[in-house]
Structure 1
Amino acid sequence: MSNYLAIATLTATLQRALQASVQVDVDGARVTTVRPDRLNGASPEVGVNIYLYDILQNNAWRSADLRQRYSDDKYTKRSQTGLDLYYLLSCYGNEVELEPQRLIGSIIRTLNSKSIVTQEMIRETVADSTFTFLADSNLAEQVETIAISPVDLNVEEISKIWSVFFQTPYSLSLAYKVSVILIDSGEIAKKPLPVRNLQRHVTPYQPAIAQIKVLEEKTNLWQTQLTATPLILATSTLLIQGNKLSADNIQVRIGDVKVTPQNVTDRQITLDLFSIPVESLRAGVQSIQVIHPQQRVSSNVVPILLRPTIQEVTVSNLQGRGNDTRSAEITVLVNFTIDKAQQVTLLLTELSLAQFAGYSCDQTKHRRGNSHSITFAISDCLPGTYLVRLLVDGAESLFTVDTDPNSATFEQYIGPVVVIS
């Protein structure tokens, strides 16, 4: 958590990050932090203005502020408030030379590459001589990740924001959300008095999940130092380990589905994901929880990353000849149903030892509902054979590895592939 300077520190950090970028992309551009209705006298002729137009409590952190009390009505931990900050970024400059549009492109590129506000960025801002008033800020010590994401505003929402500024002409703008900022009360928690005697108290029985493991050999094949979470596919067998897991009629909730596990002991549950209809599962981050219906208690919730599996890749509407780059539509069929609201990205990596080319595409076509197949429109792609990966809400599909020791491609990636001729 951080102190009262957290909001101002974050605004200053955004200002420094954008200033370093826009002044290179558009000569003489500056980044300011004033009200839009004061820009006529306070902003440079060419530049970007950052305005904090809304602050909302973060819903996920509201329950985190439920503090336990001692018997003398004192709290056991400090009060904290989780906040989401909403910024309006407006661009100004010579319309004939399209300076506002060049600036807004620079903003999108910069905040896309710096979508996470790092501790180093915050420390550099606090140490900047321009922001001496932020010297006591401890935002860099916040453990929770601070993420920057764009906010889609329609014409009506934009009009409502700009109508607050009386007689102020509209300027080309876009909005970003920064989440989450944790501000604590600053109160020092008081230590309780020593225990004089022991009294019996009845506490609810509750199972607890300690960790989740996977049985498959493929986990060992893909094991790296960077693998912080188990590698889980739709065909995986999970070992849910913890305490007090056993009970009558036990259930395991994964995502929105409740299933009966295969084997249950007090310290371990075996759950075959392939026994669950694949239509009920979703790729990406899913939650797992152990439920004891008769006792009406549930365990803690543990997140897992469920990876999709590519079943087929096809190419259509291929355009381009000779040495020219190609444009095409690539359709990827996966085992999971992908919701239309899920974020998907196609990754192509050239299958060649002589040269390397890679492409990333998130432009989809004809995506109106939930489906097992996603079509991507690619352009400016060199002809060749490419390994294909699909990223669904951060969950990346796996390559096929050649495990035949007699093969010429032993321990190399061999699929899935697509040929763009």
Structure 2
Amino acid sequence: MSSLYAIAAVTTVLKDLLNNGLIDGDVATAVSDNVVVSSLPPNRIPGGNGEERSQLNLFLYRVTPNSGWRNAGLPARDHSGHPLGRDPLVVDLHYLLTAYGADELHAEILLGYGMQLLHETPVIPREQIDTSLASPGLLDDAADLPPTLRAIAGSALSQQVEQIKITPADISVEDLSKLWTSFQAPFRPSAGYHISAVMIESRRPPARGLPVRARNLTAIPFQRPTITRLLSQPDATTEASPHAPILPGNILLIRGRDLTGEQTHLRIGNRTYTPPPDNLGETEILFTIPDDLPAGLHPLSVFHEVTFGDPPVTRPSAESNPVALVLRPQFQRLPDDSYDLTVTDLEIDGSTVITGLLSARVSPGVRRRQRVELVLNEYDPPATRTARRLVYDANPPVIPEDEEETEMVAFPIRNLPVATYLLRIRVDGAESPLVHSTDPAEPGYVQPRISLGP
């Protein structure tokens, strides 16, 4: 890696490359003048009134991050923002090579020769960098050098991993005009060059952890569980079906492969459950839906944990693909097997229910910030028209502060035609199931339903 003097070192090497090329090519004879290679801002170069001399100027006008190396290193900071490593600063340099002439055509000769020299050196050899920064006697008599040259000589530019590459840059007329306007100097013929990449090593010492006192390695097979299907059964005597709704208290049958590990758990939303060992198998897991799981859509996955180390520590090892578990709410029933539904404050005007309040007891209970809706579908409508369908939002549930949920939900209804309706409750998008008729003479859904009228 290079030191913080690397940018100045690149400018010095490029100046030396141009200067040596002009001397070897005897360009001074063609322009009848001693050619100078400088690296000054254009507004500091004398010009006009016969004071301009023949020279090449190399000006660094822009520095940009190198996109290739920007994300190559490991994270240099921890979660608290403290530095961890010595992530280098890698930048690209943008130069403007400008030619000045004391006489006619001198600027064109110098610019053409300078561009040819840089064209013939697309990559600067490391030996040439060492030669430019450490001329004969430099290291032995470094004390006689100015402080700036001594610092540049120790930049270690030739030791960086990436070699210095020179690429011509296409600068539009508009961009050139903006540059020279900002320079506040008379325009001169120029060529742009892109130098990549300069790697500046961080001076901040890396953070070091405590030395490893003992090594404790545990090899475990890479066995990722996979869930392929979810089935539901009301009880252990009923056959599981992929079409049966998943309701509170049902038995959930999770099918897949490699489902069991040293310690097997289920993750449903942000809750973790551990099925009994007798319900675990390589291809299926039986799990009873708990009462504390709210209705709605939940991601479900199987994950394994292993315990190792001294002292023993439990760590996660593998987790399955997540699948969608839709826990559907349901209306609770009374001892006579009817649904716990109550209609109060009913106001009817002819064939229309003006206002009313329908209360229902549901399972699982409704929690705060859950969206609850009542869906009404007209039961057995006349053949001359389609069935009516209406949706009502529930009143905000009244939940005591010391409780998490409530089973009683109230729905204000208004402007509802007098009729018999099938009822469904929708909680966070999950709808309660309807009961299908087993009588061939009365096909379709038959329950739960309610008659609203006089």
TM-score bucket of the superposed structures, by smaller chain: 0.3 to 0.5
TM-score, structure 1 normalization: 0.45
CA radius of gyration, larger in: 2
